[in-house]
C-alpha cells in the first residue's frame, strides 16, 4: 500500500491504520543496542536509497548534499578522501569530478582515497592503505595525486569511548590533524571538508580554519541523522600554505 503524500512516515491513514515500520525483535544473545541499530537501519530511507543507487553507505548522501550547496567537486578537480572506507564519498567524487572521463567536453579529475584498512577497489578512484598521520604522508599523497589537491575531505570519526566529551575531543584532534595535511597538499583556493561533533571544544580549530580559508561554514546536511551531534565544516578558498610554525594545529 502506497503512503499518501504528506502522511506521517511509516503510517497508513484512514480506517485500518497500521504501522508500516519494520520492527526487530531482540534475538537471544544480541544486545538491545544492536537490535535498535538494526531496526534504525532497516527503516532509514537513506540506507534503502544507497542500496538502490549503488553507493556503499548512506554517508554518500552527506557529501552529495554538501557539494550541491557549495560546488567543490567540479569536473577536473583533484580530490583526496582521508579515511575513505567503505568508499561512498569516493564514489560520489568520481562521478562529480569526471574521474572516468564520461562527461564529454568536461575536464577529467582524479580521486585518491586513503585509509588505515584495505578498501575494495572503486572504479575511477585510486585507493591506498596509508596512515595519514605518519611522517611523510603529505608528500606521498602529492606523489600519488601527481601534484597538489583541489579538495581534501574527511568523514573520519575516532573510535567511540562511550563518553560524549572524550569523543568530541578526539574527533576535534582528528580534524586538526586532517587540516594539517590539507595545508600541505591543497592548492591555493582549495577546499577542506570534514566531519566534527558539536560540543564546544572546536573553537580553536574553527579559528585555525578561518585564518587559512576565506570562508568557513558549519553545516548539518539533511542526510545527517537528527539525533546525531555530527556536523560538517566546509572551508573554501585556501589562502596558501602557512609559514612553518605559523597557524599549525597543536
pLDDT tens digits for 205-221?
Answer: 899 999 999 999 999 99
In-domain check, residue 184: yes
Co-location of 66 and 117 in the same domain: yes
- Select the more confidently predicted residue: 29 or 202: 202
Q: Mark 151-163 as b/e (b = at least 16 C-beta within 10 Å).
A: bbbbbbbbeeeee
pTM over 0.75: yes
Domain match, 82 and 193 both: yes
- Pairing outcome for strands 186-197 and 125-129: unpaired
Any binding-site annotation on 115? yes
The pLDDT tens digits of the residues spanning 84-138 come to 999 999 999 999 999 999 999 999 999 999 999 999 999 999 999 999 999 999 9
Q: What is the CATH number of the domain that holds 75?
A: 3.40.50.150
**Would you state the cell numbers that stand for residue 198, as one nine-digit string?**
558539536
61 in any annotated domain: yes
- Of the candidates 25, 28, 69, 195, the residue annotated as catalytic is 195
Residue 144: predicted pLDDT: 97
pLDDT exceeds 70 at position 14: no
Kindly report the backbone phi and psi dihedral angles of residue 182, in degrees, each rounded to the nearest multiple of 5, phi listed first.
-60, -40
Same structural domain, 31 and 118:
no
Q: Are residues 95 and 43 in the same domain?
A: no
89 is in an annotated binding site: yes
What's the pLDDT at 9?
A: 39
Flag whether 2 is in a domain.
no
* Residue 234 in domain: yes
Check whether residue 126 and residue 36 sit in a common domain. Answer: no
The range of the structural domain enclosing residue 39 comes to 18-53
Any binding-site annotation on 29? Answer: no
Residue 170 shares a structural domain with residue 231: yes
CA distance 91 to 55: 7
| Residue that wins the pLDDT comparison between 244 and 156 | 156
Residue 244 lies in a domain: no
The residue that leads in pLDDT, 242 or 96, is: 96
Q: Looking at the 3D structure of the chain, how many domains does it have?
A: 2
Q: Is 87 annotated as a binding residue?
A: yes
Q: Is 70 within the bounds of a domain?
A: yes
- Asked if 220 is an active-site residue, the reply is no
Note whether 126 and 216 are same-domain residues: yes
pLDDT at 38 over 90: no
In this predicted structure, the answer to whether residue 151 has a pLDDT above a threshold of 90 is yes
Per-residue pLDDT at 172: 87
Identify whether 146 is part of a domain. yes
Band (163; pLDDT cuts 50, 70, 90): low
Same domain (yes/no): 108, 211: yes
Cis peptide before 6 (omega within 30 of 0): no
Amino acid at each position: 500500500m502506497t503512503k499518501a503524500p504528506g502522511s506521517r512516515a511509516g503510517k497508513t491513514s484512514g480506517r485500518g491504520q497500521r504501522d508500516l515500520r519494520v520492527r526487530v525483535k531482540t534475538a537471544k544473545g544480541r544486545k538491545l543496542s544492536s537490535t535498535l541499530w538494526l531496526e534504525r537501519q532497516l527503516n532509514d530511507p537513506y540506507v534503502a536509497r544507497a542500496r538502490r543507487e549503488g553507493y556503499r553507505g548512506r554517508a554518500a548522501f552527506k557529501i552529495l548534499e554538501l557539494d550541491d550547496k557549495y560546488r567543490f567537486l567540479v569536473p577536473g578537480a583533484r580530490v583526496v578522501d582521508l579515511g575513505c572506507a567503505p568508499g561512498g564519498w569516493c564514489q560520489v567524487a568520481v562521478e562529480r569530478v569526471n574521474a572516468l572521463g564520461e562527461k564529454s567536453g568536461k575536464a577529467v579529475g582524479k580521486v585518491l582515497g586513503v585509509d588505515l584498512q584495505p578498501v575494495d577497489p572503486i572504479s575511477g578512484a585510486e585507493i591506498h592503505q596509508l596512515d595519514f598521520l605518519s611522517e611523510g604522508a603529505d608528500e606521498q599523497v602529492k606523489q600519488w595525486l601527481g601534484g597538489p589537491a583541489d579538495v581534501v575531505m574527511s568523514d573520519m570519526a575516532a573510535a567511540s569511548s562511550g563518553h560524549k566529551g572524550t569523543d568530541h575531543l578526539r574527533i576535534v584532534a582528528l580534524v586538526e590533524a586532517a587540516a594539517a595535511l590539507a595545508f600541505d597538499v591543497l592548492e591555493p583556493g582549495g577546499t577542506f571538508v570534514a566531519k566534527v561533533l558539536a560540543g564546544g571544544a572546536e573553537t580553536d580549530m574553527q579559528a585555525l580554519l578561518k585564518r587559512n580559508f576565506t570562508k568557513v561554514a558549519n553545516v548539518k546536511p539533511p542526510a545527517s541523522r537528527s539525533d546525531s551531534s555530527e556536523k560538517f565544516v566546509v572551508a573554501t578558498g585556501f589562502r596558501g600554505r602557512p609559514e612553518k610554525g605559523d597557524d599549525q594545529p597543536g
